[in-house]
């Protein structure tokens, strides 16, 4: 079976959506990272978290399905109502953006599908632990997975 760039293509598709939102709403999304950074110098920001996948084989087709792809949105907890409103606005915009971009995975035959949103605090540990407001966007529900199907050569 031929090697593919599925993981890189999925990350690129997610990053493209996030960077477009950053350009369109720079006060709602100030930074985008491919992985969790060691600190959050600019907030609100987003990073691409887990990339867990399941691989199955049927006849001469390999299906790669993301079961743990996540984007984490992070914002400061300066004023609880202001932070939540800004976070809610950003999440609502990203839901629309990812819905529009569901066919944005390069290579053909792949779908990028946002299937869940979970509010979660994000804590950075160090000399002093710092907690941020967070929202986790999940791509990888078994009923609506992010996937690609590849044939054998």
Listed as own residue / partner, the contacts of 20-26 with beta carbons closer than 8 Å and 24 or more positions apart are 20/97, 21/90, 21/93, 21/94, 21/97, 25/90, 25/93
What is the separation of C-alpha 41 from the centre of its chain, rounded to a whole number of angstroms?
Answer: 19
Q: What is the pLDDT along the chain (153 residues), one digit of tens a residue?
A: 567 788 888 888 899 999 999 999 999 999 999 999 988 999 999 999 988 888 888 888 887 888 888 999 999 887 666 556 889 999 999 999 998 887 777 665 567 788 899 999 999 888 888 899 999 999 876 666 666 666 654
Q: Are 114 and 84 in contact (CB under 8 A)?
A: no
Q: pTM value?
A: 0.86
Pick the CATH number of 6-151 from 3.30.2000, 1.10.3470, 3.40.50, 1.10.10: 3.30.2000
- CA separation for the pair 77, 133 (Å, rounded): 6
């Amino acid at each position: 079976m031929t090697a593919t760039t599925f993981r890189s293509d999925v990350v690129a598709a997610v990053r493209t959506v996030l960077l477009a939102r950053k350009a369109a709403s720079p006060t709602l999304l100030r930074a985008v990272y491919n992985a969790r950074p060691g600190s959050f110098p600019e907030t609100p920001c987003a990073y691409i978290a887990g990339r867990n996948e399941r691989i199955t084989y049927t006849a001469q087709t390999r299906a790669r399905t993301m079961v743990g792809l996540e984007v984490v949105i992070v914002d400061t907890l300066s004023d609880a109502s202001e932070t939540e409103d800004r976070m809610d606005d950003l999440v609502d915009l990203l839901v629309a953006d990812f819905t529009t971009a569901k066919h944005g995975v390069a290579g053909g035959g792949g779908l990028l599908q946002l299937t869940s949103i979970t509010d979660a605090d994000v804590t950075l540990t160090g000399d002093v632990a710092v907690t941020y407001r967070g929202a986790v966007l999940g791509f990888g529900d078994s009923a609506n997975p992010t996937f690609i199907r590849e044939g054998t050569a």
